[in-house]
Amino acid sequence: MNGHPSAAHDYPNYDKQAADILALVRNASSIEAREVQWVIPHWLPRSVLSIVCGHAGAGKSTALLAILARLSRGEGFAGQPVDGTKRILMICSEDDPEFFHAPQFKNHDASLDMIDFVTEVFDPSRDLQKLAEFGSKYNQPYDVIAIDPLLDLAGTKANPNDAISVRAMLKPAQTLARTTNAAVIGIAHFRKPVGSSGDNADPLHRLAGSGAFGQVARSVLTVVPSPDTDDGTRRLVRSKSQYAPPGGCVEFRIATQPGHPFKTAIAIFNDTVIDGSATALIDGKRESKTDQAMTDICELLDHAGKWVSRKQIVSHLEEAEHGRRTVDRALAKLVQDDVIMKGSTANKLYGCFCLKSYAPLAGFAKWKP
């Protein structure tokens, strides 16, 4: 034990209050680092909460259902293969399954045997715990649990504009994801633009309600019209990714599929990934030199999978004509945005950087190009 408490039973002489506190504690030596698991590599992580967001009518639900239909058939997405067919659970309240979700799945040629709906009145405070217990008992029955809309979790007492209330509201969904090892993904709306710059804010700040929605979610995908065309093309942008480099998007169109009995729209994706920062891909703004450097740094750190020194980063980015001041600004912004970690003298990694998702696994190993 080395004198470190890890559970109440290790200290039988403690009073009940101390024992209750110790029951919440784990010693660091008992925690093993593990790699992130994915339903779709770099796009949809397991065991955490993800969000698909955008304005009303942007095509959020249609895009998500198109992706889920692919997963039900065992088909990959955005050039990323998946390991077999996936079981899907839909929790939805805005539309009856008979009128929207089921016809959408049929139009997208989903394997309907792999998809279930929650059809009864859903009480998140009660039923999410039941789903977690069911998943734990029967060995992960679902790979993806989709909630449309995410505010279904709010109940009657939660305040979606209050950060503390939102974090408490999302806690059961986080527990559900962790317990079942499923990807839990919810659909959220943007707030209406306010003022001349209201629609040019960071996509995480556009989410309706408290900013805690974007802070709690480990992955955020944003649906927006393509700023480069006026033909109705839309983009699914990786606005936030805690476990992969952020940025990049795939484009899709909304169309009606001829010959289907249900006249609902379908999303037709082009699986070619377009590189760039989320801001540039959403707003069509030309990337600044700092944005370009941030993208290049993330790609380098993702390739390395270990700690990389500033000297190595500068040397690598000088080949792409990034100056040292630009690199330093990009590194500072990535650290501030909690995308990368900066080493310290304590772990002998002063002046080194690593993607946050790799940091626990990279240990103290430095990259050797």
DSSP 307: B
Put simply, whether the predicted model's pTM sits higher than 0.75 gets the answer no
Q: Which CATH class is domain 289-362?
A: mainly alpha
Distance of CA 314 to the CA centre of its chain: 29
Cα of first residue to Cα of last residue in the chain, in angstroms, is: 40
Residue written as token pair 């990714």: 241
Q: For residue 185, give the 3-state DSSP assignment.
A: strand
Q: Are 98 and 119 in contact (CB under 8 A)?
A: no
How many helices (H) and strands (E) in the chain? 11, 14
- Provide the pLDDT for residue 197: 41
Angle, in degrees to the nearest 10, between helices 310-318 and 289-304: 120
- DSSP line for 129-184: HHHHHHHHHTT---SEEEEESGGGGSTTT--TT-HHHHHHHHHHHHHHHHHHT-EE
In the predicted model, residues of the chain with pLDDT beneath 50 are: 1-5, 8, 194-198, 200
pLDDT, tens only, 161-202: 777 877 888 888 888 888 888 999 999 888 765 433 445 456
| 38-283: CATH number | 3.40.50.300
Residue limits of CATH 1.10.10.10 in the chain: 289-362
Q: Is the bond leading into 149 cis (omega within 30 degrees of zero)? A: yes
pLDDT, tens only, 313-367: 998 888 777 888 889 988 998 888 778 888 876 667 778 898 876 666 656 566 6
Q: Are 305 and 298 in contact (CB under 8 A)?
A: no
- Provide the pLDDT for residue 245: 80
260 is written with which tokens?
């289907």
Which is nearest to 311 in space by CA: 324, 330, 296? 324
- DSSP line for 116-140: EEE-SPP-HHHHHHHHHHHHHHTT-
Residue limits of CATH 3.40.50.300 in the chain: 38-283
19 is written with which tokens?
């024992």
Which is nearest to 50 in space by CA: 153, 165, 187? 187
Task: State percent of the chain over pLDDT 90.
Answer: 27
Q: Are 22 and 11 in contact (CB under 8 A)?
A: yes
Residue written as token pair 């009606």: 256
Which is nearest to 199 in space by CA: 285, 275, 267, 276? 285
